[in-house]
Structure 1
């Protein structure tokens, strides 16, 4: 399967969680650091609403295809259209090394 450039029609940000320790207090703080902005194909697979802690939360499952990168890991997140998507699995095109599919969802976690 050949990856067509026209199918990558959305800009997304790849971010990783970085922990830093304050030299004075020793407190650990977590921040998201941008790794790259890349072209992607974003496909919404499904969405649900759930009840969590007496609050309705919407969640969506999304597949995001980007050009092949060997550095993306499931601890990262994707930011698209003001939404943070948690990367659940990184599914590379191991044979052709043309693309990587990122299985993602929205929901409550560090993203």
Structure 2
């Protein structure tokens, strides 16, 4: 399967979590840093509503296709900014293109407490 450039029509940020020292309190804090901005194709697969801490919460599952990279991990996240609003997608699996090696599919979830 050949990856056509026109199908990658959304700009997203790949981010990974790092531990840094807060300069005021000197405490160790987790924060997200951008690794790269890439073009992607986002396909929503399904959504569900669950109850979390007695509050209804919506969770959507999606697949995000990007050009092949060998550094993406399921501990990372994807951020899509549209109209000044960020949508955070937690990566649950990194699926390799076994035939051509042109792309990877990121199985992701958004909503709930993701982000």
With the length of structure 2 as denominator, give the TM-score of the two structures.
0.88
State the 1:26 CA deviation: 4.7
Partner of residue 98, structure 1: 102
Partner of residue 108, structure 1: 113
How many residues of Structure 1 are paired with residues of Structure 2 in the alignment? 110
Q: Distance in 2 between matches of 1:70 and 1:22?
A: 31
Partner of residue 17, structure 1: 17
Partner of residue 42, structure 2: 42
Partner of residue 27, structure 2: 27
Per-residue displacement from partner, 1:51-82 (whole Å, max 9, x unpaired)? 11011111000000000000000000001141
With the length of structure 1 as denominator, give the TM-score of the two structures.
0.91
State the 1:24 CA deviation: 7.7
* Correspondence 1:57-96 to 2 at 5 A: 57-80=57-80, 81=82, 82-96=86-100
Gaps of 5+ in 2: none
- Computed over aligned residues only, the root mean square deviation of the Cα atoms, in angstroms, reads 1.6
- Which segment is superposed worse, 53-62 or 89-98? 89-98
Gaps of 5+ in 1: none
